[in-house]
Amino acid sequence: MRRTTPSLSLFVDAIEGGDRELDALAAAWLPHVYAWCHRLGGPALDPEDAAHEVMLIMCRSLHKVHAPEVFGTWLFATTRGTLANHRRKAWFRKWLPGPVRDRPTTAWSPLRTAEAAQAADQVWDALATLPEAQREALVLCVLEERSSREVAELLGVPQGTVKSRLRLGRRAFRDALVAQGLDVDVLLEEVG
């Protein structure tokens, strides 16, 4: 599903206004942040916990963003950092005594077939092997159907870098699928 960046004026209003304007900014960006947490965090993290934390940081630290044009970049970087913290916590949690948390299931629709779930697991695994920069490029450009210019603004890197990461990411992703023993072309036909 194609996502478009919310209007810059929402940020300006939130900086100059009160709680209502801040709510409007949060409401506009929350679906984006939630989708990033879901897709970049993978199945091992709870996207709701991560998105909640990102939005809290946003509400508390909005004044640190010096220009509306860089708000998207700042929010994405905050999401990235928050996900990294959650990954560390998830790793640390494994070594602590106590009840083991269930794998979050909110992202998994009960209507999905077992075959689709298996395919998704394989894609998650393949995606997890990619360097973070390439994973981000694939998620933003392919899954969220954003233009390379838009992604470059979000990531705060040149457009050429986005294209390069996307190209390398596609290749690495394909290689990762093949490394799992998948006959990529054949399975594509079956899925299709």
Tokens encoding 138: 């694939």
Q: Reduced to 3 states, what is the DSSP secondary structure of residue 145?
A: coil
Residue 86 in the binding site for other proteins (CB under 8 A): no
3-state percent helix, strand, coil for the chain, nearest multiple of 5: 75, 0, 25
Per rule CB under 8 A, is residue 39 in the interface with other proteins? Answer: yes
Distance CA 24, CA 165 (A): 33
Residue 90 binds other proteins, judged by CB under 8 A: no
**How near is the Cβ of 117 to other proteins at its closest, in Å?**
8
Site for other proteins in 91-120 (CB under 8 A): 106-109, 112, 116, 119-120
Rounded CA gap, 70 and 3, in Å? 18
Please give the distance of CA 122 from its chain centroid, rounded to a whole number.
18
Phi and psi angles of residue 186, each rounded to the nearest 5 degrees, phi first: -65, -45
Residue 184 Cβ, how far from other proteins at the closest point, in Å? 6
Enumerate binding residues for other proteins (CB under 8 A): 1, 19, 23, 26-27, 30-31, 34-35, 38-39, 47-48, 51-52, 55-56, 59, 106-109, 112, 116, 119-120, 122-131, 133, 138, 142-143, 157-158, 160-161, 164, 168, 170, 172-174, 177, 179, 184-185, 188, 191-192
